[in-house]
Structure 1
Amino acid sequence: MVQDILIMAKKTKADALKTRQHLIETAIAQFALRGVANTTLNDIADAADVTRGAIYWHFENKTQLFNEVWLQQPPLRELIQDRLTGCWNDNPLQDLREKFIAALQYIAAVPRQQALMQILYHKCEFHNGMISEQAIREKIGFHHQSLLEVLQRCMDKKLISGSLDLDVILIILHGSFSGIVKNWLMNPTSYDLYKQAPALVDNVLKMLSPDGSVRQLMPNEQQAEEA
C-alpha cells in the first residue's frame, strides 16, 4: 500500500514536471508567433491543450512564465559544444572562428533557438518584473570576459593586429553578430544562414587582421579536416 502511494506520488510529480515543460515550450512558440504583449494565457492554454487553471498551477502570471523561459535556457556557447571539433587548442583565432560559425549554424538549424531569438529581437517589449533584455543577452550570448581573454591570446600569438583596442572590438563583434541574426530573422528566406555562416564570420574577422591572416583560415581548416 505504502509502495503504491510512493509510486503514484512519483508519477504525479513526473507528470507535473512534464506539463510544466510543455507549457514553457508552448509559450516560446506563441510568444515568437504573436509577440509577448499580444499573447494571453488563454492563447498558451489553448495551444497547449490544457485549461487556464493548469497554467496557474505552475505559474502565477505571464511574466513569471516569460522569465522561466529564459532562466532555464542554457547559454548558446554550451549548446554548440557537440558541434565543435576541439582541434584548435593551439590557435585561438581558429577556435573562435569555429565557435562563431557553429553558433550561427545552430540558430539556422534549430527552430526552438530561432523562436527564442525572434522573441528577444522582434517580439518583446520589456517592462518591470520581466527579466531584462541585458540579462538575457548576458546569459545566452557572448561571455564578455572569456571573449576578451581569447582575443588577448590571439594578440599575444600575433594572430590579430597588436594595435587593436580589444574593448572596441568586443563592441563591434557583438553588434556584428547580433545584427546578422536580427536581420536574418526578419526574412529567413532571404539567404541560407547555415551555408553562409563561414563567409559571414570570415568577413567579420578580417577586421582583426589587416595583414590578411584571417584569409588563411579556410586552407588551414581544410587541412585539419583532412587530417
Structure 2
Amino acid sequence: MARKTKADALKTRQHLLDVAITLFAKNGVSTTTLADIADAAGMTRGAIYWHFDSKVSLFNEIWNIQSCIALEIRRKLKIQNPDNDLKLLREIIIETLKFISTDRRQHELLQILYHTCEFNGEMYSEREIRERYWFNRERMKKLLRNCISKGQIPVNTNVELAITIIHGYLSGIVKNWLMQPENLNLYEQAPDVVDSLIAMLTKSA
C-alpha cells in the first residue's frame, strides 16, 4: 500500500509539472500562478503546495528532469562514426531540429526558454537551462576540436568564436520558427539549415 501511495504521489507531481509546462508556454511564466496550475490540473491548492513550496521551485524542477536533447539524439543515431566528427555533428543537429519540430513537449519547453519567461531571482538562468538542456558549450567544443585534429575544419578555426556563431545561428532559427512556423518547415528543411552552417565551418580562411 505504501508503494502505491508513493507511486500516486509521483504521478501527481509529474501531472502538475506537465500542466505547468503547458501553461507557462501558453500564458507566460510570470502571469501563471500556482493556483492556476492547480486549477488546470483539477487539484486543490493544498495539493500543489504539498509538492512545490513556490513557483520558482516548480519552474526549476521542470528543467531538472529534462534530458539534454543532443545527448538523447546521439544515443538514437544509427550512424556512429568516431572517425568523422563533422558528420556526427551534422547528424546530431539535423535530428535535433527534426525532433524539436515534431515533439509537442519540446516545442513547449523551447517556447518557455525563448519567448515566455522573464528570468529573475532564484530561477535557473537562460544560460543554465540552455547548457543543461539544449546547447552545451563543452560538448560542442570537444566535437569541434576533434574536427580540427582530423582536418575536417580549418586548423586556424577559433573554437570559442565558432561555438558562439553556431549557437547564435541555431537559436535564431529556432526562435523564428517558434514565432512563425509557417515560414519554415523545420522538419523538411533541417538538412539545408544545417548544411549552411557546416559550409560556414568548413570554409577555408
Could you tell me the TM-score, scaled by structure 1's length?
0.86
Q: What is the number of residues matched between the two proteins?
A: 204
**Runs ≥4 in structure 1, deviation > 6 angstroms?**
none
Amino acid at match of 1:174: H
For residue 89 of structure 1, report the CA deviation from its aligned partner.
2.1
The partner residue of 1:31 within 24, 28, 42 is 24
Q: Which stretch of structure 1 is more off in the superposition, 149-158 or 23-32?
A: 149-158
The partner residue of 2:149 within 156, 160, 165 is 156
For residue 82 of structure 1, report the CA deviation from its aligned partner.
4.7
Partner of 2:188: 195
| Identity %, equivalent residues | 50
Q: 2: CA distance between counterparts of 1:125 and 1:136? A: 13
Partner of 1:47: 40
The partner residue of 2:116 within 108, 117, 123 is 123
Q: Does 1:95 align with 2:88?
A: yes
The partner residue of 2:58 within 47, 65, 80 is 65
Q: Which stretch of structure 1 is more off in the superposition, 133-142 or 90-99?
A: 133-142
Q: How does 1:5-16 map to 2 (within 5 A)?
A: 8-16=1-9
SS in 1 for 2:89: helix
- Structure with bigger gyration radius: 1
Structure 2 unmatched ranges of 5 or more: none
Q: 2: CA distance between counterparts of 1:23 and 1:16? A: 11
Q: Which stretch of structure 1 is more off in the superposition, 146-155 or 116-125?
A: 146-155
SS in 1 for 2:118: coil
For residue 53 of structure 1, report the CA deviation from its aligned partner.
1.1
Q: Contact 2:130–2:136 at 8 Å: present in 1 too?
A: no
For residue 10 of structure 1, report the CA deviation from its aligned partner.
1.0
Q: Contact 2:24–2:112 at 8 Å: present in 1 too?
A: yes
Q: 2: CA distance between counterparts of 1:37 and 1:191? A: 29
Q: 2: CA distance between counterparts of 1:206 and 1:49? A: 51
The partner residue of 2:49 within 56, 60, 74 is 56
CA displacement 1:88-128 (0-9 Å, x = unmatched): 22211101000010111111111101100000000000111
CA displacement 1:133-171 (0-9 Å, x = unmatched): 111111112322222121122112211122321111011
RMSD over equivalenced CA pairs, Å: 1.3
Q: Does 1:144 align with 2:133?
A: no
Amino acid at match of 2:19: T
Partner of 1:108: 101
SS in 1 for 2:161: helix
Structure 1 unmatched ranges of 5 or more: 1-7, 212-227
The partner residue of 2:172 within 176, 179, 202 is 179
